[in-house]
Amino acid sequence: MQVGSLKKLFQSTDKNLESLINEFRKEYGSILDFVIFTLDNPDELGYDSFLINVTKRAYPPYFDADDLFSFDKEIITGGNANKIRKYIDNMRLRNLAKKELIYWTSEGPMNRLIYGIFEGYRSAYIEYAHFSRIYLFLERLYSRALDRKLEFNDLLNIYFSGLDKLITFNLDKFDMINHKKEPTIDFFQKLGKINRPDQEVINFQYKARQIIRMSLSLTYGGYGSFARIEEEFLAYLAGCSAVKHNRNQITIEDYITAYKTYYKLLKTDVTQYQAKPEILKELGLEVTSQNSQNGYIVCDKCGGYYQLQPGESPDDFSDTCECGGYLIYKNDLDN
């Protein structure tokens, strides 16, 4: 099946791509086959034209202290972008990233890469802009799932569901019910000091991205501009993986985890993650049916499930089933 997929991919491309794939698999084996063998059907990886078309947000301000959180005006209706701004300072994860991934001087924010040199460690690799890509993707994926522009309650669900925290800490297991651990200020301090990868890792990522870029550019004309956003998000995820495993430098294994997390996210119905009622109450907002926590807790091993009752949250449950399987939150039982 894989060989057939590869032949199909080669038939629709050129000899250069075929050579790149063969050389990559000869050097690194099958570790990225779950991506390579699906490039001929990019929709199966979660791509589509709507997702790719984010070029207007490709280069948000890195160091503008007054606008560290930007919005995609194309997919947010009316004045909802301005309406949600008053609540952004309550986003704990963003506040940690803002504090630790930007170096603040008396004259304003300094480039984190320069700061790393001043502090004596090999230039910092992860910046605030890498972190902010979480919300770019969540906004886009949420709008795509609803097939409409985002409204105020949608934004509340995106920013206050805790999915950003789950992605950051749980990575490719972000769909597991595990709310007991979460990124701390220490986590982001270590993330801000992640060193640049060594040449072996740089070569791996360059060759992997070369294959993906070449293949997807044949399908999506605007992929070249989107690729940079994608690469920054992958770097953030790889950095999180390194910190989680107590490393101060990204490895190839961290990038593999990043790819698994990224493509799992692209295929996830993110609308099942709702703003937590207790947070909405803290913000002085009413809990409505549009942002209430409904759905099911499902075991990935035995298939047992429990329907959440009014007032209950996935936070109320442990992360494992009695059978030893992991508990996953689902909006409905059909997905």
Residue by residue, DSSP assigns 113-169 as: HHHHHHHTSS-B---HHHHHHHHHHHHHHHHHHHTS-B-HHHHHHHHHSSHHHHHHH
Delimit the domains of the chain by residue range. Answer: 2-40, 45-272, 294-335
* Degrees to nearest 5, angle at CA 116 with 111 and 121: 170
Top mean pLDDT of 2-16, 183-197, 270-284, 319-333 is at: 183-197
Give the span between the Cα atoms of 13 and 26, in whole angstroms: 20
Q: Residue 240: is its pLDDT beyond 60?
A: yes
Say whether 176 sits in a helix, a strand or coil.
strand
* Degrees to nearest 5, angle at CA 271 with 138 and 84: 60
Residue 205's CB is within 10 A of a number of other CB atoms, namely 20
The per-residue pLDDT for range 162-208, each reduced to its tens digit, is 899 999 999 999 887 655 566 788 999 999 888 889 999 999 999 99
Nearest CA among 75, 45, 270 for reference residue 167: 270
pTM for the full predicted model: 0.79
How much is the average pLDDT of 210-235?
87
Site of tokens 């490039």 = 39
Residue 14, pLDDT score:
60
Residue 32, pLDDT score:
94
